[in-house]
Amino acid sequence: MNAIYSLVYTGNQLKLVVDPFFIIWNPYDTQITAPQFAVTLEYGLAGGVRFKVTDTKDTVETDDDVVTLYGQPSGSYGDKGSDTSFSDYAKRKSGVNANLSYLISNMSMQPGEVLIYSPPNETDRSTTANVLNDELKPGMNYNATDSGIFFEDFPDQTGNEWGPVIVPSAEAGQYKIDVLFNVYTRLDYAITNNIEINLPASNIRPDQLTSEASFGDHIQGKEFRLNLGGSKVSRNVDTGQRGFSLDYTFAELGGNKKSFGMLSMLTLPTDHAEADTSVEVFSQLNVTAAASTWKEIQHRAPFNMVVKSVAMDGINNLINEVGVDFDAIGSGLNGFYGKSYSSTDGDPAFPLLTISPSPLHSLVQFSSANIGTRLVEPTHAIGNSWKPPYIPKNSIYDNTTDFYGEVKDTSWLVNDALFDRYYLSGIAPAYTIDANGYASSGSAGIASTLQNFYGTTPASAEANPSLEPYRPEGMTATQITESLSLADGYQKMGAYSLINGAFNVNCTSVSAWSAFLRGNKDLVIKSIQGTTDSGTGTPFPLSCSASDANSNNGWEKFSRISDSNIETLAEKIVEQVRQRGPFMSIADFINRRIADDSLSAQGAIQEAIEQADINSEIRAVTSAEVPNYSDYSSIFPYSDAASVGARNNATGVPLEINQANILLPIAPKLTARSDTFKIRAYGEVASIGGDVVQAVCEATVQRVPEYVNTVDEPWVENYTNPLFPSGALKLNSINQSFGRRFKIVNIRWLDRAEI
């Protein structure tokens, strides 16, 4: 969010004008639309403004000039700051409060698109909007005469008396105005606004966005303040020049705006020149944070935000000073984000997150879900395993940092909760997507898909390719379909399906891991935009279909791993298996170790990726910035250069290969134990004459979902809540002892040459 401050002198009267504009990013790899999209700013804008008007009487300043000051001096900084801010002007104009709201109708954004939105000019504003409850239109709609919020009254030094500043046009040359514009306000902090984005009802008008009840569904937003003093000064904040820094004669102001200041509040990119901290904004932080705790609000400004207050003459100078560019080559509606907000380093399109367009097959496809709602939780939590910089090595919780409350290792916890307990069958009814979301099409619903899966053409169900149907003895496809079509059918699916080609994570064969990882070698990947990538090597996109936004940096693209690098990666994975194993579960394999040693930095696959140096060429071009969490030592006390390793600020962009990328295609086949075994039996008999006859047989046995005693259904757990086992046991005593049944699927006799 940005706001340009200007002065204009017209009709013998001084006016203050504020032109806000917004840079809105679609972080998803698909087009998003919204009938109504609202941005609300509670408390207005941060910072202070003061004016000093001098009547020189003869255009030459002397000691007997008449000086009038407008706006309160700062309670902490005196004449160097101001306790009169935009919110005071806005409250005076509305007569109620300083809240602002903006409504975008029929919003549509392409994958990853970065768009500029701003209020329309006065002549283009609809009758249902006003300058405080306005519309937003694509592009930078700044106009020299009729855009922005006009304020015609100015406060005295006490802030109690308001009135116009009138200067006859004949005397415009002898009146001078000095400008103070910065964020030095009251008591060492500057209250900023509560910025939220919401989805209002389709019939809401701009002038109706005046209360929480009208905002609709909340998407994202938080209140925060800028700490300007004490031991917890906010980082990434340029407070501006103290005191009066610009001056104009009223004749210079004229009828067109004279822009003198800009307040810029930007989400931190990876390499922004205006930032003084260096963090992994796309991996260790949450780019779609929806909430914050009260204590976080009172602490300081979010460390993923860059705030800059600039007093400078001219709109072009102001925009250049805060490092924001517009896409003049394209439609003129685009801004830039990703690496920076500049046209040279940023991207007009940067898709980072995935909305899968079809039924899911891998739990890692949930990686883009906003599992952690707070800023300090990771963007791609599921499948990744980096230790957060605010958590000690030997724990998954901490309450000693300056977050004022307990923080947790979200990735560790969510991996532990999902893997080994859930899987995705991919079995879903035929469906359509409309304005109301997903809806099954046709009258058959999911029963038709199930009938295909358990019938003679299971491939036509388009289910998870890692699964194959399992029909217990005595049950028909129709009976299974009827059972699974019921409301609790999802709880029974595991009783009627098997993994085809399961792979044990405790395997220590390099050749086996290498072959397993190359399962998609040279696979052609189709993008959401319809283009195809048919390169050589094994692709590892973090989505079922990659995005091709034709961006400057190509960060949204995916990488392929060559056969030689796959072999190296397999060697390093085996080293990790030997060092960390045996793994008792899939989550145990995915997550980092909870111990005060080197295994606590990240999970086995991520460590193998780093040791294999898979990302070295990628990181050489993505970002030159290395994370330095010591800038926030009170918040990130458990991070050092060793734990960061070779990562850079762009860690987590789709172009990189990280643990979640590797896991996405292979996770459905992973297991921490084997369910199919070969058992050999040997027997011999000696005749009276001393002849010995020997025989060896080999049986292949497979564990199946049914219990040994079929009195218990396969989906019955031994405890009411298996996550917290306690109370009376539910299974039959035989099943408590022997568990699932084994079935002999093959038996054969071996000759001596096969032994």
Q: Per mean pLDDT, which range of 390-394, 534-538, 550-554, 567-571 is the poorest?
A: 550-554
pLDDT of amino acid 209:
93
**CB neighbourhood size of 755 (10 A):** 10
Q: In the predicted model, is pLDDT for residue 358 greater than 80?
A: no
Cis previous bond, 269, omega within 30: no
pLDDT at 188: 60
Cα 557 from Cα 351, distance rounded (Å)? 9
Nearest to 192 by CA among 100, 80, 319: 100
Q: What is the 3-state secondary structure (H, E, C) of 45-99?
A: CCCEEEEEEEECCCCCCCCCCEEEEECCEECCCEEEEECCCHHHHHHHHHCCCCC
Q: For residue 268, give the 3-state DSSP assignment.
A: coil
Q: Is the pLDDT higher at 645 or at 345?
A: 345
Among positive and negative, which fits the CA dihedral 145, 148, 151, 156?
negative
Q: What is the pLDDT of residue 225?
A: 73
Please say whether the beta carbons of 557 and 550 come within 8 A.
no
Give the pLDDT score at 532: 86
Q: What is the pLDDT of residue 294?
A: 59
d(CA 136, CA 511): 58
Q: Concatenate the DSSP letters of all residues of 193-239 into one string.
A: -EEEEEE--TT--GGG--SHHHH-EEEEEE--EEE-SSTTPPSSEE-
CA distance 334 to 139: 7
Please report the pLDDT score of residue 249 as a whole number: 94
Measured from the Cβ of residue 740, the count of other Cβ atoms closer than 10 Å reads 14
- At residue 299 the predicted structure's pLDDT band, cuts being 50, 70 and 90, is low
The 10s digit of each residue's pLDDT in 612-662 is 999 999 999 899 888 888 777 777 888 887 778 889 999 999 999 999 999
Q: What pLDDT is stored for residue 187 in this prediction?
A: 59
> In the prediction, which pLDDT does 601 show?
93
Q: Is the pLDDT of residue 548 over 80?
A: no
Angle in degrees, 0-180, between the axes of helices 446-454 and 477-484, rounded to the nearest 10: 150
> Which pLDDT does position 730 carry in this prediction?
87
> What pLDDT sits at residue 531?
83
Question: Which of 64-73, 328-337, 368-377 reaches the highest mean pLDDT?
Answer: 64-73
Q: What is the per-residue pLDDT across 301-310, written as a single tens digit (0 to 9) for each?
A: 677 888 899 9
Strand pairing report for 397-398 and 503-504 = unpaired
Under the banding of pLDDT at 50, 70 and 90, the label for residue 679 is: very high
Name the DSSP class of 166: B
Which whole number is the average pLDDT over 682-704? 93
* pLDDT at site 395: 94
Q: Where are the beta strands (DSSP E) in 449-499?
A: 467-469, 497-499
- Taking residue 630's Cβ as centre, other Cβ atoms within 10 Å add up to 14
Q: Which of 3-17, 454-468, 585-599 has the lowest mean pLDDT?
A: 454-468
Q: Over 80: is that where the pLDDT of 289 sits?
A: yes
Q: What SS3 class is residue 543?
A: coil
What SS3 state is found at 644? helix
Give the mean pLDDT of 690-703: 94
Task: Please name the residues in contact with 268: beta carbons below 8 A apart, sequence gap of 6 or more.
Answer: 236, 275, 277, 279, 281, 303, 304, 305, 306
Span 163-199, pLDDT tens digits = 999 999 999 999 999 999 998 876 566 666 678 899 9
pLDDT score at 403: 65
pLDDT band at 376 (very low <50, low <70, confident <90, very high): confident
Smallest Cα–Cα separation from 354: which of 609, 658, 664? 664
Write down the pLDDT at residue 724. 65
Q: What percent helix, strand, coil does the chain show, rounded to 5? A: 20, 25, 50
The pLDDT tens digits for 185-235 are 765 666 666 788 999 999 999 999 998 889 988 888 767 777 777 667 777
Residue 611 corresponds to which tokens in the numbers above?
Answer: 């040791």
* 131-165 per-position pLDDT tens digit: 999 999 999 999 888 899 999 999 999 999 999 99
Place of tokens 């850079």: 648
Mean pLDDT to the nearest integer, 449-465: 90
- The total of other beta-carbon atoms located within 10 Å of residue 271's CB is 20
pLDDT in the model for residue 394: 94
DSSP class of residue 590 equals: H
Residue 240 burial (C-beta neighbours within 10 Å; 0-12, 13-18, 19+): buried
Rg (CA), the chain: 32
DSSP labels, 2-18: EEEEEEEEETTEEEEEE
The set of residues, in sequence order, having a beta carbon less than 8 Å from that of 51 and lying 6+ positions away, is 69, 70, 71, 154, 177, 178, 179, 180
State both tokens at 658.
Answer: 């990280």
In whole angstroms, how far apart are CA 713 and each of 427, 471, 716, 745?
A: 22, 14, 6, 22
Q: What is the pLDDT of residue 274?
A: 81
Distance (Å, rounded) from C-alpha 256 to C-alpha 564? 65
CA–CA separation, 167 vs 12, rounded Å? Answer: 5
Which of 221, 301, 32, 106 shows the shortest CA–CA distance to 212?
221
CA 527 to each of CA 356, 524, 550: distance values in angstroms, whole numbers, following the listed order = 12, 10, 12
* Residue 585: closest CA among 497, 675, 673: 673
**Mean pLDDT, the chain, whole residue set:** 89
Six-digit token string for 356: 């899968």
Q: Does residue 101 carry a pLDDT above 60?
A: yes
Residue 451 has pLDDT above 80, yes or no: yes
The pLDDT value recorded for residue 436 is: 66
Of 278, 292, 268, the closest CA to residue 407 belongs to 292
HSE-up (13 A, CA, CB side) for residue 385: 30
The whole-number pLDDT of residue 380 equals: 95
Average pLDDT, integer, range 268-290: 87
Q: Is the pLDDT of residue 433 over 80?
A: no
| Mean pLDDT value across residues 436-460 | 81
The count of other CB atoms within 10 Å of the CB of residue 273 is: 12
Between CA 650 and CA 749 the distance in angstroms is 59
The number of angstroms, rounded, from the C-alpha of 508 to the middle of its chain's C-alpha atoms is: 35
Residue 413's pLDDT is 96
- Determine how β-strand 133-135 pairs with β-strand 100-109: parallel
Are 546 and 558 contacting, i.e. CB atoms less than 8 angstroms apart? yes
Long-range pairs for 511-517: beta carbons < 8 A, 24 or more residues apart: 511/570, 513/570, 513/573, 513/574, 514/566, 514/567, 514/570, 516/666, 516/669, 517/561, 517/566, 517/569, 517/570, 517/662, 517/666
What local confidence, expressed as pLDDT, does residue 523 receive?
A: 92
The amino acid present at 26, given as its one-letter code, is N
Biggest distance spanned by C-alpha atoms of the chain = 139
**C-alpha–C-alpha distance, residues 79 and 83, integer Å:** 10
Percent of the chain with pLDDT over 90: 62
